[in-house]
Amino acid sequence: MAAGAKTPLWLIALFVFPIWGAAQILNTPMISVYRIAFYFVFFMLGYFVFSNDEVVERLKKIAVPLIVAAVVTCVVFAALYFGDNFADKPINRGFLYALDAYVGSLAMFAGMARFGDVSGSLSKWMSAHSFGLYVFHYLGISSVALIIAKPGLLPAPVCYILSLVAGFVFGYGLYALISRIPFLRWAVLGVKKGK
């Protein structure tokens, strides 16, 4: 990880290419959002590069240009693929998809490090329980998508808002429940008693 701390910005920009390459392989055929290599590269970059304070400090200095680049990339992506299934091939294997995902991630990371680094009682509580949000958030989002959005029971903007709320409710709610049941705490979260 010490080597990752020295990663220059020009190399961080080039990481989009391994991300794009990873988007081409290890995609599950039935459920297109399970993209093993794509997420693995993001995970490894996060672990070895972006977890270093030195890298975060470099990114904070260019947060505004990154945010602008992310907005532009997102608008271009949305304009080109509006109404298409962007979660499936060939769109989810395209360079613009990888670029949008990567630049958007960098912009959120740098922007929050620069402008959102504040703490209060709510943010401290959320931080202390963030593992539960990480583990369980997608169950809430998927539930809203499957039960409400897919059949078209509510308009799309309402479904997005419900998905956001459900992600937090399921994430923190299931964590609060499962972390109190010894066997499930170990089997689902990998946490032994006293941790």
Q: Is the pLDDT of residue 24 over 90?
A: no
Residue 64 CA to chain centroid, in angstroms? 20
Query: DSSP states of 120-146 as a string?
Result: -HHHHHHHHTHHHHHHHHHHHHHHHII
pTM score, two decimals? 0.71
Mean of pLDDT values over 51-71: 94
Domain boundaries, the chain: 4-115, 121-189
Give the chain's count of helices (H) and strands (E): 10, 0
Residue among 29, 147, 137 at smallest CA distance from 92: 29
Buried b (16+ CB within 10 A) or exposed e, 93-117: bbeebbbbbbbbbbbebbbebbeee
3-state secondary structure (DSSP) of residue 176: helix
pLDDT of residue 63: 95
Query: What average pLDDT does the chain have?
Result: 88
pLDDT digits (tens, 9 = 90+) for 160-176: 999 999 999 999 999 99
